[in-house]
């Protein structure tokens, strides 16, 4: 019996588990492919943008040059945020260093949120997909044993077939979970590297615009 026959001969719960695993697999692979594209582009863009910024004469001349390189929109928002506006409001209260800390922190959080997008889905799929598959297996074995018991004589041949078919659900759950877990871990390391580079740039930018030396602690 192939997977399609097993699906159509199953009851409502079996079909529901199979469809849920299929939805998890499709959604996780969409996120995986999208994040591979995003993180590869972002890693190179951030490195180039930082290099271009420090090779520019001024912040104003650096901005249009960075817009050509920052395709993921991670570095340019930091520069735009540093143009503090809102005179006469609490946003402009405090000294220059405090204002820059606040606006750069908010812009950095927005950039990191973009990088982290989809990680929760991958973690969720990796955590619950094996249990969803196990639920389908237990339910399938239960129905298989009920059918076998109703048939009268029980032999190994009659048990091995239905039970083996039910175990397909466990294999399907693992097949869905393993790529999601691996992708989550790999992406986590890549995001950590990009995050460290963005944080370092934001710290140096704050020091530059606040009138202190980059890396200097006030």
DSSP annotation of 127 reads H
Residue 182, in any domain of the structure: yes
pTM above 0.75, yes or no: yes
Query: What total of structural domains would you count in the chain?
Result: 1
Could you tell me if residue 138 is inside a domain? yes
Whether residue 121 is contained in a domain is answered as yes
Element at 118 (helix H, strand E):
none
Contact (Cβ atoms closer than 8 angstroms) between residue 78 and residue 108: yes
Q: How confident is the model at residue 38, as a pLDDT?
A: 93
Let me know if residue 115 belongs to a domain: yes
| pLDDT at position 215 over 50 | no
**Mean pLDDT, the chain, as a whole number?**
82
In a domain, 189, yes or no: yes
Is 215 part of a structural domain of the chain?
no
Say whether pLDDT at 9 is over 60.
no
Q: Which domain holds residue 203?
A: 3-210
Is the confidence at residue 18, as pLDDT, over 70?
A: yes
pLDDT category at 35 given cuts 50, 70, 90 is: very high
Tokens for 110, please give them.
């927005």
Q: List the structure tokens of 172.
A: 């399907």
Q: What does the pLDDT read at residue 184?
A: 96
Query: Is position 216 within any domain?
Result: no
């Amino acid at each position: 019996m192939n997977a399609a026959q097993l699906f159509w001969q199953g009851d409502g719960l079996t079909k529901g588990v199979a469809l849920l695993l299929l939805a998890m697999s499709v959604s996780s692979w969409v996120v995986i492919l999208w994040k591979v594209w995003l993180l590869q582009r972002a890693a190179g863009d951030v490195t180039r943008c930082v290099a271009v910024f420090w090779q520019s004469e001024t912040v104003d001349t650096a901005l249009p040059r960075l817009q050509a390189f920052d395709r993921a929109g991670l570095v340019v928002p930091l520069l735009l945020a540093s143009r503090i506006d809102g005179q006469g409001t609490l946003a402009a209260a405090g000294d220059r260093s405090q204002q820059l800390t606040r606006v750069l922190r908010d812009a950095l959080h927005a950039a990191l949120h973009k990088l982290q997008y989809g990680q929760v889905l991958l973690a969720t799929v990796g955590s619950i997909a094996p249990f969803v598959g196990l639920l389908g297996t237990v339910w399938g074995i239960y129905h298989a044993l009920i059918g076998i018991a109703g048939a009268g004589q029980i032999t190994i041949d009659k048990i091995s077939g239905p039970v083996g078919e039910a175990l397909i659900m466990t294999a399907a759950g693992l097949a869905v979970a393993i790529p999601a877990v691996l992708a989550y871990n790999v992406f986590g390391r890549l995001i950590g590297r990009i995050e460290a580079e963005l944080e370092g740039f934001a710290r140096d930018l704050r020091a530059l615009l606040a009138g202190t030396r980059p890396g200097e602690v006030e």
